[in-house]
Structure 1
């Protein structure tokens, strides 16, 4: 039941709202059932349904409020809610908001492009339902959407404008918020067919209530906590959206007005909020809210309904402004495990096998080389990170991880300075990967000849081919990075993330988990927008953290793909300024990852066609999310005096020796 409703006045409201909910299912994407979650509610979502409630109340007050609503009134209520929901998708993209009512927003989970398109789909569904009701409803809906978009254009144009006027603010909230509440009341009233005068009165009621509703929300954004609001607070100031309290406080205080600028940090926003609250304008803003509520109530005096029903409707309007929706339980923080079993998987046996494999194949000439930081990180990661698994699978998976780190070192070695040698290395490694030679030549082919049969055991031919293709693409990306390092090329900030991602080896990392879990991730899962976004965010966060961890070393080694170097090269700023910019970017990426982490596994578990394997597939992604440490420390080759690691020059000479004609291994 909506908060503040008098059921003695509107006894059928609960049942009628259930009928509305039945019409609010996800938009159907023909032939793509796996995308249904894009426009559906997340598990546990509870909507207040303010606009459908107003539509139904507007219908009740003009008919018999003790009788269930006509089907047309129910459809009108659902249509307005769909238009509202569609606008929320767009709002979150525009505001870069990754949370909505304490839950991840669609653009956090699915990415901005799909979130925008989802908003279009939902809005179109609502407008279609209004058009099915009749010409008047369709025109009212289209007009409201037009005004809403115009208001958002105005608000966006006025961002960071310290001289924004009160009238501009009121015009904006009239279009973006009040218009939809007014539409809800109007289309509900139209279904009662009691005449234009009654419809206009209810539409004005919704308009004044909508103005009060948005202003009250803006007050709470400055005075409440995230727990009370169910969403981040003080979010408008850093984005340059100045509400009535801020406008009035700035008009009184020139010093505060000078603080209203682009690039405001969260700390500065907190300080500005404190100044606004201390200025005394909150009482003035609340008085405006109270006046708007009184104006809304006055619109109901001319309605032909009982005083009991009129008072009940006004009471609901006041309750809408007073209610605080607490958020759900605090989301899991980055790095915490979810439902993962964190038991070790035969650590001593695994470590012994991998170390022996390195030594026996000649990848390492002596045990001391295995203390190289990247190899040590591999062993340490495996020793305390993942659920229990079959010992043979553990050995194979960690062997793959160690081999990938070593191959990365071969390309990143600062002593590799001949472009021809880089290309020769890539060709030799691909030939080794495909086993396009009559027999092992040197340590790397020998080690691979021993590891590959274990990797392919139990895997389908399609998986094997995809794996080899992805490993080959990684070699090509690493070759390109080495050429860029040698030539001194530094990519732009736009190009750097994509180039960096290509060298991250994320497909190899996913293969690691597939081997560990003895499951193959179906291509349709890897292609799913949520899975792709999750992978991109996990690796983006890990790679940026690595950039921030080694900027001086990367500068000395002329590492091309470091975002800090790209920022400095592109803008000419200082090292400290570049670091601050990258740290802000990292914070945004982390916020998105935190949001998507809570919801991606549930979406992936329920994808159509996974049969009983959905839980296992989702657990691979849960492992990926909870083990960012897998990619920290494995990302850069650093030669140290204590442990220089394997002799990379020897390994390159061996693997680049002449090879025999190719033959397929599949």
Structure 2
């Protein structure tokens, strides 16, 4: 089974992520072969498996080195992530994800929603088999609530004037950072790491998730649509106003507001003009500085964790995420 080429330079992780993929597939228990094949195709859609990778690396923090359990719990986290992506695409009415047609575009919203719900159930099925305590399952449940609350908040804020950096950071804290933090937490806590180490792993994951989402939002303005697997400037077109645009709005509110007042009627020329405003006000550079700050905070938390080879990989991986172009 082929895992994303991103992991070819990490043979041990590559091997473990293949097992993660196998665990997920083994828990897709649907009698209808066609539906099962469709959901398996979603699982095979080419994601980088970052969240399970962080869970696997953080499973080396404590003294309990149970690889099978670590792989299974990493699989539950990726399943949770896939479920949220399917629901995301329904909310955004996105036609592509990772360069492929989305479930709701191929079939319909109802099919996609139920497929996402099914993957949520698979997540908890795996957790119930492998998590060491009910309290850890409860923690996963609370985290899921925060993730979904972040998604609801983003949906509610669509086409609202992009004036608050604080609100944006709060939104992505729930939408994205929560799952990165949960991945690091699950790996650490299930390896019997100390409470202090678990807290540092959680904080590290939170900061990584914040930097990751900010970088992702920056790429929506300057990325290559073919590499990203979705058209550029999709967020602005759909009324999701992210950090580069928020900074531009602060510096040139009149010009930005004139364009955004058109809401879902933005033309290609409007989007081009929006990008010119963002470039003129250095919105992208300002957003990149915030992403760097969060990455620095993540590496500071990492430095305080117990020594081991896993730390070198975490350090390299976290720096790579900030510099990515896809």
Aligned partner of 2:90 in structure 1 is 93
Query: What do residues 111-158 of structure 1 show as CA deviations (whole Å, max 9, x unaligned)?
Result: 111101100110121122223313132112111111111111211121
Map residues 512-523 of structure 1 onto 2, 5 A cutoff: none
User: Match of 2:184?
Assistant: 185
Match of 1:25 in 2: 25
C-alpha change, 1:231 and 1:131, in structure 2 (3 Å) is same
Distance in 2, matches of 1:4 and 1:85, equals: 19
1:461-610, aligned counterparts within 5 Å?
none
Match of 2:291 in 1: 289
Show the 5 A alignment for 1:298-377.
298-306=300-308, 309-325=310-326
CA distance in 2, matches of 1:44, 1:139: 29
Alpha-carbon distance between aligned partners in 1 of 2:279 and 2:19, rounded to the nearest angstrom:
43
Match of 1:569 in 2: none
3-state SS of the aligned residue for 1:12? helix
The equivalent residue for 2:76 is 79
Q: Distance in 2 between matches of 1:4 and 1:103?
A: 21
Counterpart contact for 2:76–2:126, Cα < 8 Å: yes
Q: Residue 227 of structure 2 aligns with which residue?
A: 228
Alignment of 1:368-387 (within 5 A): none
Partner of 2:139 in structure 1?
A: 140
Q: Is the 8 A contact 1:155 1:172 kept in 2?
A: yes
TM-score by length of 1: 0.46
Is residue 2:11 matched to residue 1:14? no
Shift of 1:44: 6.9
CA shift for structure 1 position 163: 4.4
Task: After superposition, give the CA deviation of every residue in 1:298-341 in whole Å (9 maximum; x if it has no partner).
Answer: 112221214x542331111111233344xxxxxxxxxxxxxxxx
For 1:104 and 1:128, the matched residues in 2 are separated by 28
Q: CA deviation at 1:5?
A: 7.9
Distance in 2 (alpha carbons) for counterparts of 1:128 and 1:16 = 20
Find the counterpart in structure 1 of residue 248 from structure 2: 249
Distance 1:26 1:265, change over 3 A: farther
Match of 1:265 in 2: 266
* Conserved? CA contact 1:89–1:106, under 8 Å: yes
Shift, 1:26, TM fit:
7.6
Q: What SS does structure 1 have at the residue aligned with 2:265?
A: coil
Superimposed CA distance per residue, residues 396-425 of structure 1 (whole angstroms, 9 cap, x where no aligned partner)? xxxxxxxxxxxxxxxxxxxxxxxxxxxxxx
Determine the C-alpha separation between the residues in 1 that align with 2:135 and 2:57. Answer: 19
Tell me the SS of whatever aligns to 1:291. helix
Among candidates 273, 276, 279, match of residue 277 of structure 1: 279
| Contact 1:51–1:77, Cα closer than 8 Å, also in 2 | yes
Larger Rg: 1
Question: Could you tell me how far 1:233 is from its partner in structure 2?
Answer: 1.4
Deviation of residue 28 (structure 1)?
Answer: 4.2
Q: Return the offset for 1:6.
A: 6.5
Kept in 2, the 8 Å contact 1:4–1:315? The answer is no
- Cα distance in 2 for partners of 1:258, 1:240 equals 14
TM-score using structure 2 length: 0.91
State the 1:178 CA deviation. Answer: 0.5
Aligned with 2:25: secondary structure?
Answer: coil
Inter-partner Cα distance in structure 2 for 1:35 and 1:108: 15
Gaps of 5+ in 2: none
C-alpha distance after superposition, 1:196-246 (max 9, x if no partner): 211111111110000000000000101112023122210011211110110
| 2:38 counterpart of 1:41 | no
**Does the residue aligned with 2:313 lie in a helix, a strand or coil?**
helix
CA distance in 2, matches of 1:206, 1:5: 23
Structure 1: gaps of 5 or more residues: 326-666
Q: CA RMSD in A?
A: 2.2
Question: Contact 2:181–2:202 at 8 Å: present in 1 too?
Answer: yes
In structure 2, distance between residues paired with 1:26 and 1:176: 28
Length, aligned pairs only: 318
Greater relative contact order (CA < 8 Å, ≥ 6 in sequence): 2
Cα gap change, 1:26 to 1:94, in 2 (>3 Å): farther
Answering whether residue 108 of structure 2 is matched by residue 111 of structure 1, we say yes
Partner of 1:219: 218
**Cα separation, partners in 2 of 1:320 and 1:163, compared to 1, 3 Å:** closer
DSSP-derived class of the 2:62 partner? coil
Tell me the distance in 1 between the aligned counterparts of 2:193 and 2:310. Answer: 17
Following superposition, the deviation at residue 277 of structure 1 comes to 2.1
Q: Distance in 1 between matches of 2:191 and 2:43?
A: 35
Q: Could you say which residue in structure 2 is the equivalent of 1:3?
A: 6
